[in-house]
Amino acid sequence: MEIRPYQDNDFEAVLACFNRSVREIAFRNYMPDEVEAWAPVSPDLDAWARRLETGAVFLAVVEGQVGGFVRVEESGYVDLLYVDPAHERKGIGRSLLEFASAWAVRHGAIRLESDVSISARPLFQLMGFRVTEERFVERRGVVLKNFRMEKNISAESVEGRAR
């Protein structure tokens, strides 16, 4: 596995990874209408492009394919973390979070925060995040449950993981 920065020509592969992740992994914890609101069949491609052009986006590439991706802001907010179902439970999510943490420390963050799905909560807890708030957010008229989670970070705890 290689972790590398997102490039514009990765757009379709990243969007496909997101859709597969929501429809095959998150589907285990959310109702069909919630999944459709979260990952609609016809997504707003312009909004996705804008989102991927801001912040820092890193891909986990496995045998030439996108195995997962993470988007992190300099503030330490982890906006996106998705793993392709073909590669789940192989350490990709953990590796991406570690990489994002190290990147955020290098950019001055002292805390990581994220709004985490029911499905991703166990991984974030394993990585030392704690729930600070149970949330209910609306997406396309459907309410979804998630959790605001945070983790204090320091240069020593993530030294050398992001170059």
User: Per-residue confidence of the chain (163 residues) as pLDDT tens digits?
Assistant: 999 999 999 999 999 999 999 999 888 888 898 988 988 888 889 999 999 999 899 999 999 999 999 999 999 999 999 999 999 889 999 999 999 999 999 999 999 999 999 999 999 999 999 999 999 988 888 888 999 999 999 754 555 444 4
**Does residue 120 lie within any of the structural domains?**
yes
- Could you tell me if residue 163 is inside a domain? no
Long-range contacts of 9-14 (CB under 8 A, 24+ apart): 10/59, 10/66, 11/48, 11/49, 11/52, 13/65, 13/66, 14/52, 14/57, 14/59, 14/66, 14/69
pLDDT for the residue numbered 138 = 85
Give domain status of residue 22, yes or no: yes
What's the CA gap between 77 and 112, in Å, rounded? 6
Residue-number span of the structural domain to which 19 is assigned: 2-158
What residues have CB less than 8 Å from 84, skipping those under 6 apart? 17, 20, 21, 65, 66, 67, 68
Count Cα atoms within 13 angstroms, Cβ side, for 129: 27
Amino acid making up residue 102? A
CATH code of the domain covering residue 28:
3.40.630.30
Q: What is the tally of structural domains in the chain? A: 1
**Residue 130 pLDDT:** 97
DSSP for residue 26: G
- Inside any domain, residue 91: yes
What is the Cα–Cα distance from 2 to 21, expressed in whole angstroms? 19
Q: What is the three-class DSSP state of 139?
A: strand
pLDDT value of residue 127: 94
